[in-house]
Structure 1
Amino acid sequence: MRLDYQKVAVFGFSARTGLALVKYLSKFNLEIIVVDSKTREELETLIARVDSKNITFDLGGSGDKILKSDLIILSPGVPYDLAVLKEAREKGIETISEIEFAFRQSDAEIIGVTGTNGKTTTTEMLGAMLSDLDGRSVKVAGNIGIPFISIIDQLQAGEKVILELSSFQLEAVKEFRARIALYLNYSPDHLDRHHNESNYKKAKKNIFLNQRENDYAVIDLDDPYLYQLKDELEADVIGLSSKMQDADLIIDHIRAYYQKDNVNLLDFRKIDLPGEHNRKNAAFAALAAYLTGQSLEKIQMAAAEYKLQSHRMEYINNKKGYIIIDDSKATNPDAAIKALKTLDQDIILIAGGQDRNADFSDLASIIRKKVKTLILVGETAEKLALLFKNDELELIRAENLKEAAEFGVERLNQNNTLLLSPACPSWDMFASYKERGKIFKETVLKNVN
């Protein structure tokens, strides 16, 4: 491999993507410019992990040194519309994402997975289904926590790789092409980063960029936005549905049936996944595995053995046998709606978190139908409370998550459910949704037991 650049800038020196990019670029005879808004002191540990001989650091400032580079590669956390990046593009300096750069450096065949919710579950399940494909394991990377650039040296030409793709990663792709592109669902999200729905839609739609007629675009026909998108795509579109009997893949409570080939891809009676949304996630994964050439037996076996990650509709075992569910991964309203739909009435719901300017009106409608007690925390607590000022449900504002969990346990009995499904990110109070879920679990167990 070779790079025809003299100076390459890595914008965003993160512990995963930024570090992986710098390590990869260090193999070439070129100057690397590392830019980050954090100071050298804050990044001292990361800096110590690279050979800084050919690296120029521009830390804690405006990042103007990128204007002297030939190429700028962005970590996912860096917005494409920063003023200094706009200036760079005006000067003719190409600006791309790490996913785009890794794609250009690899001849692997990509199976891409995007969507507002369910990406990680679908990607993991698909990875399990393809863990043994013709005697080889298909690698998984991307938004799941493994930078694509960190594995390309392990990939041979034509070898398959599964990429979980966020809007941040897809925002700055140009030549990227997925052989199979899965778009699971759409709902507005990350509007603090993308500013409006149009920008968010444009970024996500890039998963279909450069696809050809012999590629596959797999979408959920029950999603209104994706349904109207189907006629715009160049690839062979395969539609899933739990409502339309003429869909290519029909999903019900019992099976995922692929009408095109007259085969049952999955028997849901042998799979332990709660909710229609998870059945769809499994069906997406199964179809991608089938299109890749995997046997039906291995697809079904992997789905049957798959367990959801922690903090995704995770049942918390407790001595009293109460139904307590940690769905801390529900970081937007649509995810919380899906969680509520899987449960019966009389729910004690804990919601709220970082304010991303999300629209909570659809969530409010289902809360009125199914929630008996609503406990609110975080930046969005007041905004959510205003939606229910004329409703009869019990409304409680908690100072923090521990207090919210304690209020929830006080009202818990054998006939109701305590659900943490925040509908918001965790970053106003926690480092991650995992930390939020961990504190919830510890608090409820302490108080229940």
Structure 2
Amino acid sequence: MSLLTAQIPEWLETCLDSQVAILGAGKSGIGVKALIEKLGGNPLLYDEGTHVGEERLFDDSSAKAAGLVVCSPGFRHDHVWIERARQNGCRVIPEFDLGASLWQGPLIAVTGTNGKTTLTSFLHEAFSHVGIESFAVGNIGKPLCELLAEDRNLEAIAVCEISSFQSEQIRELKADHVLWTNFDEDHLDRHGSQAAYFKSKYRIVANARKDSLFVDSSVYDYGVGIGLDLPKAAVVTSNHSTGEMGLRGSVFATEPEKSNYLMARALWLSLELDESLLVEAAHLFKKAPHRMQYLGEKGGIRFWDDSKATNFHAVLGGLKRFEKPVVWLGGGESKGGD
């Protein structure tokens, strides 16, 4: 099924009669613009930055002219432009909501403090390995709206990496399966508190099917601790060793990647797919650059690039792999951790 034959939600058809304001002229915003144009709507880009193009500032007259406002992940829920849109009666949704409202196939949501990209990539490649059409979209680099605008098969599986920035305002995203890799302190500059950060991700769970949820114990413990509803049965555990699961020699042979494999395995078995084929895919899988990437050896010292470890939890996970003394080189602003 293509976009041209997909059923457009009634609320979206109504909104397309007016201008569609897109807040943010980055990759997500450009994807939304292409999609709205494909649907026959009238999109206008608004941006606070210095992009060269047609974007403009979102003032009161802009808000009065718009029926729908689609915001990019960089816009906080309390941004003055979003408040202005709501005050003028606009429907405000994030980019992921727009894409999810049009997607016709299964939608797998992958979130977590760390490991999202690796798990998203692996699931996509594992499905491809067994001949199941899927797309890896979202925070991994390709917005869901951009994929829709390309008129791909909307009945394929969408494996969506979703960050807390993308999930904090969702309403239309109703995932068929949710995998929450782990939880630890991060993005407090955006969310204000660890509880608010957790709840921004929990919105994915609250909107999704409850019978296909897979979480790490750190997610369960924190969520239950602040009074949220998470089933104990959703916690992914395994008593099998790396050797017993046939993972020796693969990137999933050690932590933290082993935990990603266990998440993928839990979903895979729930879909009644052949586990031996998942093991085959694991041995073929190569991680994206800058994720514990071996660079070489000089003067008896081995050098590794783990620059995608952008928070305290991720750094600790990487350092635990080494038995010999390690000199860690890092920088940037603190996101918490001690």
Same fold flag (TM > 0.5): yes
- Matched with 2:4 is none
Question: Which stretches in structure 1 are left out of the alignment for 5+ residues?
Answer: 48-56, 242-248, 256-265, 362-449
The Cα offsets for residues 390-447 of structure 1, whole Å up to 9 and x where unpaired, read as: xxxxxxxxxxxxxxxxxxxxxxxxxxxxxxxxxxxxxxxxxxxxxxxxxxxxxxxxxx
Work out the percentage of aligned pairs sharing the same amino acid.
Answer: 28
Deviation at 1:202, TM superposition (A): 1.3
- Matched with 1:43 is 52
User: 1:63–1:84: 8 Å Cα contact kept in structure 2?
Assistant: no
SS at 1:199 equivalent = helix
User: TM-score under structure 2 normalisation?
Assistant: 0.87
User: 2:133–2:157: 8 Å Cα contact kept in structure 1?
Assistant: no
- Matched with 2:97 is 100
- Matched with 1:342 is 321
> Relative to 1, partners in 2 of residues 1:132 and 1:229: Cα closer, same or farther, differing over 3 Å?
farther
The Cα offsets for residues 87-115 of structure 1, whole Å up to 9 and x where unpaired, read as: 32233322111111111112221111000
1:43 aligned partner, one-letter code: V
The Cα offsets for residues 49-82 of structure 1, whole Å up to 9 and x where unpaired, read as: xxxxxxxx424x7686234311111111222210
- Matched with 2:198 is 201
User: Using CA pairs below 8 Å that are at least 6 residues apart, which structure has the higher relative contact order?
Assistant: 2
Match of 2:266 among 287, 294, 302: 287
- Matched with 2:14 is 4
Question: Which stretches in structure 2 are left out of the alignment for 5+ residues?
Answer: 1-6
**1:117 maps to 2:127:** no
Cα RMSD, aligned residues only? 2.4
**1:306 maps to 2:318:** no
SS at 1:349 equivalent = coil
Query: Structure 2: how far apart are the matches of 1:132 and 1:313?
Result: 24
SS at 2:128 equivalent = coil
Deviation at 1:298, TM superposition (A): 1.5
**1:254 maps to 2:265:** no
SS at 1:276 equivalent = coil
Match of 1:172 among 166, 169, 173: 169
> Relative to 1, partners in 2 of residues 1:198 and 1:62: Cα closer, same or farther, differing over 3 Å?
farther
Larger Rg: 1
- Matched with 2:136 is 140
Match of 1:154 among 133, 152, 155: 152
- Matched with 1:328 is 307
User: 1:8–1:70: 8 Å Cα contact kept in structure 2?
Assistant: yes
Deviation at 1:273, TM superposition (A): 3.5
The 5 A counterparts of 1:38-437 are 38-39=49-50, 42-44=51-53, 47=54, 57-59=55-57, 65-133=62-130, 135-152=131-148, 153-157=151-155, 159-213=156-210, 215-223=211-219, 224-226=221-223, 228=225, 232-233=229-230, 237-241=233-237, 249-250=238-239, 252-255=241-244, 266-273=245-252, 275-318=254-297, 320=299, 322-353=301-332, 355-356=333-334, 358-361=335-338
User: TM-score under structure 1 normalisation?
Assistant: 0.66
2:260 aligned partner, one-letter code: N
User: 2:136–2:159: 8 Å Cα contact kept in structure 1?
Assistant: yes
1:18 aligned partner, one-letter code: G
Query: Structure 2: how far apart are the matches of 1:239 and 1:340?
Result: 25
- Matched with 1:28 is 39
User: 1:274–1:342: 8 Å Cα contact kept in structure 2?
Assistant: no
**Larger strand proportion of the pair:** 1
Deviation at 1:129, TM superposition (A): 1.0
**1:18 maps to 2:7:** no
Query: Structure 1: how far apart are the matches of 2:240 and 2:184?
Result: 21
Deviation at 1:319, TM superposition (A): 5.2
User: 1:111–1:181: 8 Å Cα contact kept in structure 2?
Assistant: yes
The Cα offsets for residues 362-415 of structure 1, whole Å up to 9 and x where unpaired, read as: xxxxxxxxxxxxxxxxxxxxxxxxxxxxxxxxxxxxxxxxxxxxxxxxxxxxxx
